[in-house]
């Protein structure tokens, strides 16, 4: 018997950096009258393993009609803002009852290649950024990159005759995760894709990959998608500050090379101060992002969060940022050394001049 989907939805994410930070209390106040906002929260059975410093605010933005393959689907659009400056938009595309697994893979491939979603998300993000501008001390309009992700959230199957732990024996889970409709995937690729498979109970299943995830949750709990979304927002911030450090370091190097090097020049002092300020600001922000969501112990959601961070190569981004911060610190030290050397030279010249002022008249008298 062919497996069909009885109930579920596809969560299509687009995540943007919209500012240095966001005042979540102000965001809540802005949408208080509309009553469309809510705070991030987890079910009690899972939240013992997670520590959230500041819960993000969700705002329902209404519905949007999408043409998915041959049918028009009405999708819920939810915006979620995070205190460290990101906005995630989630298009919730309903899965039509009776959809077969091959049809779901075709929809996955369509989502993977559909550019209209990107354009709509960019426009919605800009509009939302303007709407909450009073809650953003410093807005970001220059960085055009964003993260995308898809979570296939399934609550109920029809025709599933194996335990969820053996779902891959009845359907091609890897093909869905990779949105692959043409190639017959190798065993190695399938194994690599399915390595990050988790279960809390026999009624649920999670497969996490770098660009998409499958979540089977009969209860309808959104805990797992929310945890993956949290990791996705942290990833975006790491990418943003990695790019920002590249830009700052390049500007600093160019200014130092092209700057005035005379002993009376104040350029080095200016660059040294700028380097130190950048180091302090970015170090503080990166630490803030890393500490916004902590896992305690080895509980289920903690495992999902670690798996998501690993697949997103979060540690590589953090390592890259730390290396660049180290370079920035070294540049700051070198510039301060140059400043001190210049000051020492000025002091030596001043001392020589003072000695000359005292000695020259004396010699003048002795000679004449």
pLDDT digits (tens, 9 = 90+) for 82-134: 988 899 999 999 999 999 999 999 999 999 988 889 999 999 999 999 999 99
Residue 275 exposed, middle or buried by CB count within 10 Å (0-12, 13-18, 19+) = buried
Query: Does one domain contain both 252 and 354?
Result: yes
> Is residue 118 domain-resident?
yes
Residue 121 pLDDT: 94
Query: Does one domain contain both 274 and 130?
Result: no
Residue 135 pLDDT: 93
Query: Does one domain contain both 84 and 203?
Result: yes
Query: Does one domain contain both 190 and 331?
Result: no
> pLDDT for 307-316, tens place per residue?
998 899 888 8
Report the chain's mean pLDDT, rounded to a whole number: 81
Last residue of a domain, one of 201, 221, 241: 221
User: H/E element holding 194?
Assistant: helix 187-194
Say whether pLDDT at 198 is over 90: yes
What is the span of the domain harbouring residue 14? 4-221
Q: Which residues make Cβ contacts (< 8 Å) with residue 242, sequence separation at least 6?
A: 317, 320, 321, 324
Query: Does one domain contain both 211 and 327?
Result: no
Mean pLDDT over 198-210 rounds to 93
Query: Does one domain contain both 300 and 191?
Result: no
Q: How many domains does the chain have?
A: 2
> Is residue 330 domain-resident?
yes
> Is residue 106 domain-resident?
yes
What's the number of CA atoms in the CB half-sphere (13 Å) around residue 176? Answer: 23
Query: Does one domain contain both 189 and 293?
Result: no
Query: Does one domain contain both 185 and 316?
Result: no
Residue 32 pLDDT: 76
Last residue of a domain, one of 221, 246, 265: 221
Which tokens sit at 311?
A: 């697949």
> Is residue 368 domain-resident?
no
Backbone dihedral region for residue 301 (phi beyond 0: left; psi -120 to 50: alpha; all else: beta):
alpha
Phi, psi for 239 (deg, rounded to 5): -60, -40
Is-contact 128 78, C-beta < 8 A?
Answer: no
Which tokens sit at 284?
A: 């503080």
Query: Does one domain contain both 214 and 80?
Result: yes
**What do you get for the CA distance between the two ends of the chain, in Å?**
120
Residue 8 pLDDT: 96
Mean pLDDT over 187-214 rounds to 93
Say whether pLDDT at 78 is over 80: yes
Instruction: Kindly indicate the confidence band of residue 264, based on its pLDDT and cuts at 50, 70 and 90.
Output: very low
CB 195: neighbour CB atoms within 10 A?
12
Mean pLDDT over 152-180 rounds to 93
Say whether pLDDT at 16 is over 80: yes
How far is it, in rounded angstroms, from Cα 301 to Cα 17? 25
Say whether pLDDT at 274 is over 50: yes
User: H/E element holding 279?
Assistant: helix 267-290
Residue 263 pLDDT: 44
> Is residue 38 domain-resident?
yes
The predicted model scores a pTM of: 0.82
Q: Helix 223-258 and helix 314-367: axis angle, to 10°?
A: 20
> Is residue 226 domain-resident?
no
> Is residue 334 domain-resident?
yes
Residue 356 pLDDT: 63
Task: List strand residue ranges (DSSP E) for the chain, in order.
Answer: 4-17, 37-39, 50-52, 57-68, 71-81, 86-94, 99-100, 147-158, 197-198, 204-208, 212-217, 293-295
Q: Which residue has the higher pLDDT, 367 or 317?
A: 317
Query: Does one domain contain both 349 and 301?
Result: yes
Last residue of a domain, one of 221, 249, 279: 221
Query: Does one domain contain both 178 and 61?
Result: yes
Query: Does one domain contain both 279 and 163?
Result: no
């Amino acid at each position: 018997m062919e497996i069909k989907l009885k109930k579920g939805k596809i969560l299509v994410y687009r995540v943007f950096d919209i500012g240095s930070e966001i005042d979540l209390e102000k965001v809540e106040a802005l949408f208080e009258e509309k009553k469309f906002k809510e705070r991030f929260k987890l079910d009690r059975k899972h939240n013992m393993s997670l520590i959230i410093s500041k819960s993000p605010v969700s705002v329902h933005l209404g519905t949007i009609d999408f043409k998915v393959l041959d049918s028009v689907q009405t999708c819920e659009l939810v915006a979620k803002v995070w205190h460290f400056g990101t906005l995630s938009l989630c298009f919730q595309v309903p899965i039509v009852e009776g959809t077969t697994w091959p049809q779901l893979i075709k929809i996955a491939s369509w989502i993977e290649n559909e550019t209209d979603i990107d354009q709509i998300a960019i426009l919605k993000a800009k509009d939302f950024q303007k709407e909450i501008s009073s809650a953003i001390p410093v807005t970001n309009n220059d960085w055009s990159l964003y993260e995308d992700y898809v979570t296939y959230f399934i609550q109920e199957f029809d025709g599933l005759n194996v335990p969820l732990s053996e779902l891959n024996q009845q359907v091609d889970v890897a093909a869905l995760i990779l949105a692959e409709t043409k190639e017959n995937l190798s065993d190695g690729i399938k194994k690599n894709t399915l390595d990050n498979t988790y279960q809390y109970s026999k009624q649920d299943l999670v497969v996490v990959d770098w660009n998409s995830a499958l979540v089977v949750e009969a209860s309808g709990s959104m805990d797992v998608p929310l945890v993956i979304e949290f990791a996705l927002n942290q990833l975006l911030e790491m990418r943003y500050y990695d790019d920002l450090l590249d830009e700052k370091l390049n500007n600093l190097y160019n200014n130092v090379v092209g700057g005035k090097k005379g002993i009376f020049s104040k350029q080095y002092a200016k660059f040294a101060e700028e380097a130190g300020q950048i180091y302090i600001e970015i170090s503080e922000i990166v630490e803030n992002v890393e500490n916004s969501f902590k896992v305690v112990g080895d509980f289920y959601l903690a495992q999902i969060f670690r798996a998501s961070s690993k697949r997103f190569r979060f540690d590589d981004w953090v390592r890259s940022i730390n290396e660049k911060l180290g370079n920035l610190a070294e540049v700051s030290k070198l510039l301060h050394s140059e400043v001190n050397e210049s000051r020492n030279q000025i002091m030596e010249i001043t001392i020589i001049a003072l000695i000359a002022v005292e000695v020259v008249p004396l010699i003048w008298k002795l000679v004449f």
